[in-house]
């Protein structure tokens, strides 16, 4: 995780504001019925108190809609924390104001102060800046340990982080991200995803995002009936999203492209009404008779699903297999939970109903990770950037790098005009590394004009030999002599038109380092490779092949450019989430090969129809550190806008 952790902070004697998730269920008497979220918050709180911090806890509870609701005060949470931590905890009746400031000033090292429900203030959900500033003034450091609300851009989860030099992840937040990342970055195979719940529409984002990573998708719960209906089966009165039948068929076609297997129920527990204490039946096959509805998977389906899970190395489960809240319809969910608890696979259970089901089945302690976030875990698995996570301080501050590849455009006269305009418009933009890569013949004249500016020079290619009978080639020593700092290697056009291989690119990288040049190394898949599920394998082979035999010091200086070939010069652009997914995969591959410290230091650019209109969204992703720009770099105004927007992101 490329985010600062609470473990990275020197908290002794410091005021630390911790955004916890104490949104626990209460009964009619106001008693907590599930302590999971409180229990999961304890490691961070204990770490802070043990290290002498002055801990200030803030959370929401329920949906008071910006008003004080007496039954949603955090008093039950205060009592639960005191019982678990075995120490007194003072609770305030508000989260801002003079009384809160005075209480914070009275804190001693190791003390804990609990603020009142932050959602009693409408400014919280509005992400209000003035309210955020009041919260921030209470502390020296900010720690977000509320993964369950990380998908909300609220004052205490998002805007507040910008007021601190160090905004860190709590131990629960780090654990959540670490486990869920296993499923979307570089999962072990076989990888099985088990999805249930009521609606296909709730899970479509997860299916699409994981389609090229999962080996088997298992669909249960009410959403299975939409799929079965789409494929021509009789489903009786079962819950079906009639407007999603075409979508279900599209999903099946999409999974086939990636050679991903789709499993659906082959029998069901059925009843004539959606209620308990009525007669039930087990169907003999897939079809459900008219007047009956499916409410759980049947015994044959349980065996079918368990056989598919057997031998998996990673299993992701989100959504129950049936109406587990009723005794008659919980067997499928509980049997699957117990089977998962005894498998050798790494098991990850998403939040919400599936987490509740695992706990009620009594095997939660045997699951590797049960998420505390329902909506947050779903959005994370869809590849979305969670505002509460994105706002945290990066552990390694990587300066964005924007490189303009002019390709075979601009002779000497045109190059002079373009670079003069670029100097006037972009030289003063700070906190961004700015690089231009003109054609070979224009390198000397551009080098002279950028001398003394913040713009640096790159070449578009080079040979790996120092000298010799290589007609038409340029050596690394020549590029260094003319003033180049960088050299672009392995560009998709070099691979496509000139047959360059990973092995050849590796030779060029080593030669570049020998002569003091920094290589910008391109990797990326074709549209055909992406559609046939080969993208991950292609990227892996390119990373391992291109960076073979590099030292950790050398790898730490490489710039990697991910360029999906299907998005170069086509006007198509990978969505920010798609690009982030591949960037995260590349960083994980680098971590596996060179270690975490090196992987976090490497800057990874995106290259593929980058424009001023989309750069901010792209570079806002946690693993995208800049752009390798083609067409948009040929106009000084466009390229300058790209640079400026990268600085402001």
Catalytic residues: 491, 563
If you count them, how many residues does the chain have? 649
Distance (Å) of CA 220 to CA 168, 321, 620: 38, 5, 36
- Residue 141: beta bridge partners? 16
Q: Give the position of tokens 């499928």.
A: 332
Q: Which of 284, 374, 393 is nearest to 1 (CA)?
A: 393
Cα–Cα dist 333/328, whole Å: 11
Strands 268-271 and 293-297, sheet pairing: antiparallel
Q: Tell me the residue ranges of DSSP E strands in 438-493.
A: 455-459, 486-489
Q: For residue 329, which of 382, 293, 365, 362 has the smallest C-alpha distance? A: 293
Q: CA 496, 502, 504, 510 torsion: positive or negative? A: positive
d(CA 48, CA 54): 8
Q: Are 16 and 4 in contact (CB under 8 A)?
A: no
The pair of structure tokens assigned to 12 is: 């002794």
Residue 349 CB coordination number (10 Å): 27
Residue 561 DSSP SS3: strand
Q: How far apart are CA 196 and CA 211, in angstroms?
A: 16
Query: In 3D, which of 97, 62, 55 has the Cα closest to residue 76?
Result: 62
The first and second tokens of residue 598, run together, are: 């090196």
Measure Cα distances from 585 to 181, 257, 308, 462, 601 in Å: 10, 21, 26, 28, 15
- Cα Rg, the chain, nearest whole Å: 28
Q: What are the CA-CA distances from residue 117 to residues 59, 161, 186, 373, 530 (Å)? A: 6, 19, 38, 19, 47
Residue 515 in tokens: 């002569």
Residue partners of 329: CB distance under 8 A and separation at least 6? 269, 271, 280, 295, 296, 322, 323
Angle at 333 between CA 329 and CA 337, to 5 degrees: 150
Give the max Cα distance, the chain.
88
Around 227, how many Cα atoms within 13 Å sit in the side-chain half-sphere?
27
614 SS3 class: coil
Residue 358 Cα to chain centre, angstroms: 25
Contacts of residue 578, Cβ cutoff 8 Å, sequence gap at least 6: 383
């Amino acid at each position: 995780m490329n985010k600062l952790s609470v473990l990275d902070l020197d908290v002794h004697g410091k005021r630390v504001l911790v955004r916890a998730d104490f949104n626990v269920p209460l009964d009619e008497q106001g008693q907590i019925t599930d302590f999971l979220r409180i229990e999961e918050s304890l490691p961070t709180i204990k770490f802070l108190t043990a290290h002498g911090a002055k801990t200030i806890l803030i959370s929401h509870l329920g949906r008071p809609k910006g008003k004080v609701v007496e039954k949603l005060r955090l008093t039950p949470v205060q009592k639960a924390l005191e019982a678990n931590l075995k120490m007194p905890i003072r609770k305030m009746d508000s989260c801002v104001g003079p009384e809160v400031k005075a209480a914070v000033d009275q804190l001693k090292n190791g003390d804990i102060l609990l603020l009142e429900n932050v959602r009693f203030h409408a400014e919280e959900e509005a992400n209000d800046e003035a309210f955020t500033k009041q919260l921030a003034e209470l502390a020296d450091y900010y720690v977000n340990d509320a993964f369950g609300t990380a998908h909300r851009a609220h004052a205490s989860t998002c805007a507040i982080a910008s007021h601190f030099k160090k905004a860190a992840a709590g131990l629960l937040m780090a654990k959540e991200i670490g486990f869920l990342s296993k499923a979307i970055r570089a999962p072990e195979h076989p990888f099985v995803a088990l999805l249930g719940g009521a609606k296909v529409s709730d899970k479509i984002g997860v299916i699409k995002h994981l389609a090229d990573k999962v080996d088997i998708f298992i669909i249960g719960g009410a959403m299975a009936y939409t799929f079965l209906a789409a494929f021509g089966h009789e489903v009786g009165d079962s819950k079906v999203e009639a407007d999603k039948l075409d979508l279900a068929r599209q999903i099946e076609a999409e999974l086939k492209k990636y050679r991903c297997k789709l499993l659906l129920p082959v029998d069901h527990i059925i009843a004539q009404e959606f209620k308990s204490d009525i007669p039930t039946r087990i169907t003999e096959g897939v079809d459900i008779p008219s007047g009956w509805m499916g409410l759980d998977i049947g015994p044959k389906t349980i065996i079918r699903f368990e056989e598919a899970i057997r031998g998996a190395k990673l299993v992701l489960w989100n959504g129950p297999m049936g109406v587990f809240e009723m005794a008659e319809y919980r067997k499928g969910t509980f049997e699957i939970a117990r089977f998962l608890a005894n498998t050798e696979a790494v098991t990850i259970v998403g939040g919400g109903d599936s987490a509740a089901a695992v706990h009620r089945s009594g095997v939660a302690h045997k699951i590797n990770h049960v998420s505390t976030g329902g909506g947050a875990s779903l959005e994370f698995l869809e590849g979305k950037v969670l505002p509460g996570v994105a706002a945290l301080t990066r552990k390694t501050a990587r300066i964005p790098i924007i490189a303009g590849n002019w390709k075979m455009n601009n002779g000497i006269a045109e190059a002079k005009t373009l670079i003069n305009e670029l100097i006037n418009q972009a030289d003063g933009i700070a906190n961004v590394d700015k690089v231009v890569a003109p054609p070979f013949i224009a390198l000397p004249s551009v080098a002279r004009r950028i001398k003394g500016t913040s713009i640096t020079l790159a070449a578009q290619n080079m040979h790996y030999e120092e000298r010799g009978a290589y007609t038409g080639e340029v050596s690394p020593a020549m590029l260094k002599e003319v003033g180049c700092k960088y050299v672009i290697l392995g560009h998709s056009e070099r691979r496509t038109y000139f047959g360059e291989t990973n092995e050849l690119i590796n030779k060029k990288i080593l030669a570049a380092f020998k002569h003091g040049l920094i290589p910008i190394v391109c990797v990326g898949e074709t549209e055909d490779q992406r559609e046939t599920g080969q993208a991950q394998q292609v990227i892996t082979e390119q990373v391992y092949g291109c960076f073979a035999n590099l030292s950790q010091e050398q790898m730490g200086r490489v710039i990697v450019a991910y360029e999906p070939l299907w998005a170069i010069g086509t006007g198509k652009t990978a969505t920010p989430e798609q690009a982030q997914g591949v960037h995260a995969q590349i960083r994980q591959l680098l971590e596996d090969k060179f270690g975490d410290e090196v992987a976090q230091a490497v800057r990874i650019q995106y290259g593929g129809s980058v424009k001023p209109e989309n750069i901010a969204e792209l570079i806002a992703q946690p693993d995208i550190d800049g752009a390798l720009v083609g067409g948009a770099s040929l106009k000084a105004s466009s390229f300058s806008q790209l640079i400026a927007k990268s600085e402001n992101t």
